[in-house]
Amino acid sequence: AAEAAEGGGTSPNPNIEAKAKAAAREEAQAAERLSRENETPLETAYRKLMHFLNSTAFQTVLYMAFVVIFQQLNNCVRIPVEYYLDKHVMDRIIENHFDSSHNTFESVRRIADIYEWGNNVLWPGLFADMGPCNAVVGVPDAATHKGCNDDAWPDGEGSFHQSGATPLGLEEMVSRMDQLDWTEGILIKQIRAPATVCGTTDQLGACYPELEEGSPGDKVAFGHNWTHPTLPMDPERQFTYFDRQQLGGNPEGQTSAAIPSMRTYATSGFVAVVIPFFSDTWLPAQEGLPADVIDYRASYVNTTNGRQALFYCVRVSTNGRRIKQLCDPGTGGNGTGAMTGAVRAAVEEAWNDLKRGHFLDARSRVLSLQLQLKSNNEGVRYRITLMFELTSLGAILPSYDVETRILDRSIYEPIDTYANIALAMVVFFCLLEGVEVMHSGFSYLNDMWNVMDWVNFLIYFMVYAQLVYTQDAIATSYGSSLDCSSYLCSAVGYFDDWKVMTSFRKMKMYLSLCLCIQLFKVLKFLSQLVPKMGLATSVLRKCAVDLLFFGVTFVISMLAFSMMLFVQLGPFMEGYKDQIPAFISLFRALFGDFDIDAIMNNSSGYLNTLLFLGYLFVAIFIMLSMFLAILAEAQVAVREDEQKLEDESDGAYKSYGVFETIGELSQKYIINPAKQRLFKRQGRVAGAAGTPAP
């Protein structure tokens, strides 16, 4: 090459380069052979072991087993039929209409709507999917004055077949409860704003602003004496404040799922409780403080204690202190005969007692209903928290949050076995990666696949730790080990299982991240087996730096437009009420999810529309074009590198990987021998016929 350059500056001879590279390879191979000859037996065994462990075939097989184990873990925490239970709840409670204007839970706009939604949607959905059978819902002494039974078969006449319908029997009530079991009860809780001195604003009366995040709110008992309006309410019947420890609530609070809010509220407040249950013993109607009422847990029937359901009962409290408990007396008066609907009537009466006692008013800031549900037929636990945020400006923000957990022992119990196997494999992979780090040094981090491996390992350790925490929470939340130290559990009988459900949700979240990263890693092995399949990762690796700096530019441009539209549209449109929602709204607009009509309807002219269209022009026609250009340029560079590698490898590099190898082996051992046999046969036939062979 030097001689060619001195002779006239012509390009180097490819043959000379190839010979030089071949000589270098032979020299390296000779050095390696010499090194092996000087190895001790232990060093030789170590070298062969590491060669086997780092071989593509072994790691591919091992990683596929790793993937299978994680899929089994996934099957232990998720089953498809969970969705059916969610649809059941959504259809009956969230999306069902509560008035003639087709308003639903999500369109509640005033306090009166909340009570109406409870009377016409919540309680009918939880009981028999029927009713109300008349306009008299929740009146005082409802069992006497109602005059009809909503818990009935749809076999009557008139609207929704309620007139003259046959009351449901105890056996059918048990079957319906197995379908949607809510015998763990419903907790109704509100937080109130305390009177505050607002020195920077002017009011006609006392100031009741928005609650600070995590604030317990007002703690003063209150209530309206509807039977004697001129007299104060009996202290025993007043709505009473309970702190988090007394309620056994989550110390981290409960977070709103309403997009305009997303605030976290304390788990203390003023509560009401509804607990329906079946009993194997007749319990007389009682009302009073917890010490004056028979503890229903001595005779109640659940899915694990083996008792037989003989009576249908309920335990309600409108303030967490005074309890009312009764069983359906039946037409026989002692629990025998046809059902009378007394249980549902008692629940409706308690709900409307909250209304009559002015449970919600201008000082209410958040009302939550916590439903702990189960499907006993399929073994699924379903916890939904319904929340109404009653803002200081009068707007109401409805939202709901759902958590699920698998109860079927045949599905969930193997999780410990799979988790331990996965842990052993993760530790093994960590050791292999540690050895590679020792040999490679800092260059190890140049490969993003290695970084993804460690991220995956760290997240799995979090999965395992969360699983251990979840199993401990399960052990202390059910059965004989139940931690019933809170007042609400020990005195009233309601246990909040937030600890299990929250930890299970976190475990599923970490596991989902593991599964995602793990399956992405499959691309690495596929690209090693078939280099053509590594195009996407090669292109991203080639332009990673360019994409990083372009991403910074793109985010800044989006922030600029989101700030502008936050100021212009924030007071009127939910998607732009704050800077983060505005940024997310503009990001969604990149994929065509935007409402230009809403922008025009909330603007006095075309300015805001033109500003939004300007953003779309910059983001899509300019920024997106630059993004695609960076990828295209990187793809061209990758193609050139592949071509150069093919030219320099003298045919050793196979872009189609194992497919080319399989093709060559098929050609050598199947197709060519078959051709030879065919030609020989044709030659023999031609010779026998006296004609020349082809």
pLDDT in tens, 118-159: 999 999 999 988 878 777 788 887 767 777 788 888 888 887
Examine the pLDDT at 12 and tell me if it is beyond 60: no
Q: How confident is the model at residue 402 (pLDDT cuts 50, 70, 90)?
A: very high
For residue range 547-561, list pLDDT tens digits in order: 999 999 999 999 999
Q: How far apart are alpha carbons 39 and 56 in whole angstroms? A: 25
267 token code pair = 């788990």
Q: Which of 163-167, 327-331, 384-388 has the highest mean pLDDT?
A: 384-388
Residue 186 pLDDT exceeds 90 = yes
Cα(649)–Cα(204) distance, rounded to whole angstroms? 87
Q: Specify which residues 196 forms β-bridges with.
A: 207
pLDDT bracket for residue 405 (50, 70, 90): very high
Q: Which pLDDT score, from 0 to 100, does residue 374 have?
A: 94
625 versus 692: which is more confidently predicted? 625
The reported pLDDT for the residue numbered 439 is 80
φ/ψ bin of 372: left (φ > 0), alpha (ψ from -120 to 50), beta (otherwise)? beta
Q: What is the pLDDT of residues 426-459, one digit of tens each?
A: 999 898 888 888 888 888 887 888 888 899 999 9
Kindly tell me if the per-residue pLDDT of 596 is higher than 50. Answer: yes
Helix, strand and coil content of the chain, in percent to the nearest 5, comes to 55, 10, 35
325 φ, ψ to 5°?
-135, 135
Identify the three-state secondary structure at position 366: strand
> Which pLDDT value is given to residue 5?
42
Burial class (CB within 10 angstroms; exposed 0-12, middle 13-18, buried 19+) of 558:
buried
Do 399 and 387 touch, CB atoms closer than 8 A? yes
What pLDDT sits at residue 129? 86
The mean pLDDT value for 623-627 works out to 93
Contacts of 184 (CB under 8 A, 6+ apart): 275, 372, 373, 374, 494, 495, 497
Residue 476's pLDDT is: 82
- Percent of the chain with pLDDT strictly greater than 90: 54
DSSP-derived 3-state class of residue 455: helix
The residues, any chain, with a CB within 8 Å of residue 565's CB and separated by 6 or more, are 576, 582, 585, 586, 608, 611, 612, 615
Report, as an integer, the average pLDDT of 591-611.
89
Look at residue 690 in the predicted model and tell me its pLDDT: 61
Angle ∠(634,635,641) on CA atoms, nearest 5: 90
Give the mean pLDDT of 67-83: 91
Distance separating alpha carbons of residues 455 and 517, to the nearest angstrom: 8
Query: Of 58, 278, 304, which Cα lies nearest the Cα of 172?
Result: 278
pLDDT above 50 for 4: no
Task: Confirm if 131 and 162 have CB atoms less than 8 A apart.
Answer: yes
How far apart are the C-alpha atoms of 82 and 382, rounded to whole Å?
Answer: 9
Of the two residues 334 and 626, the one the predictor is more confident about is 626
Mean pLDDT of 527-539: 86
Residue 178: its pLDDT value, please?
93
Burial (CB count <10 Å: 0-12, 13-18, 19+), residue 584: middle
Q: Inter-axis angle of helices 544-569 and 535-542, to 10 degrees?
A: 80
Token couple for 245? 């420890």
Q: Which amino acid is at 667?
A: Q
pLDDT of amino acid 438:
83
Q: Which residue is it, tokens 């599923």?
A: 508
Calpha distance 180→85 (Å, rounded): 8
For the stretch 249-303, pLDDT in tens is 999 999 999 988 889 999 999 999 999 999 999 999 999 999 999 999 999 999 8
pLDDT at 158: 80
CA distance 80 to 349: 38
230 pLDDT above the threshold of 70:
yes
CB 221, CB 238: distance < 8 Å: yes
Q: Is the pLDDT reported for residue 59 higher than 90?
A: no
**What residues does 388 pair with on adjacent strands?**
367, 398
Q: For residue 271, give the nearest of 137, 146, 366 by alpha carbon.
A: 366
Tokens read off for 458: 């760290």
Bridge-based pairing of strands 286-288 and 380-390 is unpaired
- How far is Cα 31 from Cα 263, in angstroms, rounded to an integer? 67
Asked if 341 and 146 touch (Cβ cutoff 8 Å), the reply is yes
Using CB atoms within 10 Å of the CB of residue 55, give its burial: 0 to 12 exposed, 13 to 18 middle, 19+ buried. Answer: exposed
**Distances 61 to 50, 77, 84 between C-alpha atoms, Å:** 16, 25, 37
604-625 burial: b if 16+ Cβ within 10 Å, else e: eeeebeebbeebbebbeeebee
**What is the average pLDDT score of the chain?**
87
Residue 572 has pLDDT above 90, yes or no: no
Instruction: Report, in angstroms and rounded to the nearest whole number, the Rg of the chain calculated over CA atoms.
Output: 36
Provide the CA 579 distance to its chain's centre, in angstroms: 25
DSSP states of 609-633: HHHHHHHHIIIIIIIHHHHHHHHHH
- pLDDT tens, position by position, 339-369: 888 999 999 999 999 999 999 999 999 999 9
Query: Is the Cβ–Cβ distance between 364 and 370 less than 8 Å?
Result: no
pTM as predicted: 0.84
Residue-wise pLDDT for 85-107, tens only, equals 999 999 999 999 998 899 999 99
CA atoms within 13 A on the CB side of 690: 0
Mean pLDDT of 313-334: 93
- For residues 145 and 116, the answer to whether their CB atoms sit within 8 Å is no
Please report how the helices 544-569 and 579-589 are oriented relative to each other, as an axis angle in degrees rounded to 10: 120
For residues 57-63, average pLDDT: 83
Q: Which pLDDT does position 35 carry in this prediction?
A: 66
